[in-house]
Amino acid sequence: MTDTPAYTPPKVWTWDSESGGKFASINRPIAGPTHDKDLPVGKHPLQLHSLATPNGVKVTVMLEELLAAGYGADYDAWLINIQEGDQFSSGFVDVNPNSKIPALFDKQTGVRVFESGAILLYLAEKFRAFLPRDLAVRTETLNWLFWLQGSAPYLGGGFGHFYAYAPEKFEYPINRFAMEAKRQLDVLDQRLEDSEYLGGDDYSIADMATAPWYGALVKGLVYDAAEFLDVESYAHVNRWANDVMNRPAYRKGAMVNKAWGEPAGQLRERHDADDFKTQTWDKIKPADAD
């Protein structure tokens, strides 16, 4: 039992911009731009507008993996500060009407791509890389890509929100989403007991999509919930996470569009491979910056 009075929903819901916890200011119940502002355009064909959240990291890891493998996937990565409402600019909404990062524009083809899974699939098809051509293996890889796209909202918007970000802790939603997070970890653990990577023998976009969420979870990089969820018990997920997240291209991709943490690990914009040596925040931070 609890002393908290039961909540009775009103007949018609209305938006209270002051409620909703730490990230309430980045959401609203309508779509469209709030202000006119064009997006910057760099020299490369691929223009990425993003932030190093798990969904953003998926794409920068893919781009760095493509470059490491010798594909011509040169890109400009521009920082979208969601706390300041950059995602609601007219330029960003033109690329992603859903006002969520990441968003990609390919100058070479004139194609806009939004939703992180769609961006991974677009890049895999464009460069014919990290997505098997064999029908059966390709389908298994896509099974896990779409599994992640459907499952991650329960981890982030469900467990992560109520456990780490909600203005108050409530037992019911934390228990509900902790159960689901652990069920999902068990799904992954059983798969990875039988397979080196999610799609099969080869590293693919399914692994790139999943590691920034569930790999980061078991390595204690999100929500400070590793002990609470007993993540050490998922041995096969941990083996896979160490393998994927220690790849040099993954480590680079995780730095791009990052605006928090150790300054040496933040590459807020990325326009050239040498930026990892010369443009990290510890090297370019203005004297009056936070």
pLDDT of 61-102, one tens digit each? Answer: 999 999 999 999 999 999 999 999 999 999 999 999 999 999
Identify the structural domains of the chain with CATH numbers, from first to last: 135-247 (1.20.1050.10)
Mean pLDDT of the chain: 95
pLDDT confidence tier of residue 21, bands split at 50, 70 and 90: low
Vertex 256, ends 253 and 259: CA angle to 5°? 140
The predicted model gives 247-262 an average pLDDT of 98
pLDDT confidence tier of residue 4, bands split at 50, 70 and 90: low
pLDDT confidence tier of residue 3, bands split at 50, 70 and 90: low
Model's pTM, two decimal places?
0.95
Is it the case that residue 285 has pLDDT exceeding 60? yes
Residue whose tokens read 């693919």: 204
pLDDT confidence tier of residue 19, bands split at 50, 70 and 90: low
What pLDDT does residue 1 have?
47
Burial 88-109 (b: 16+ CB within 10 A, else e): bbebbbebbeebbbbbbbbeee
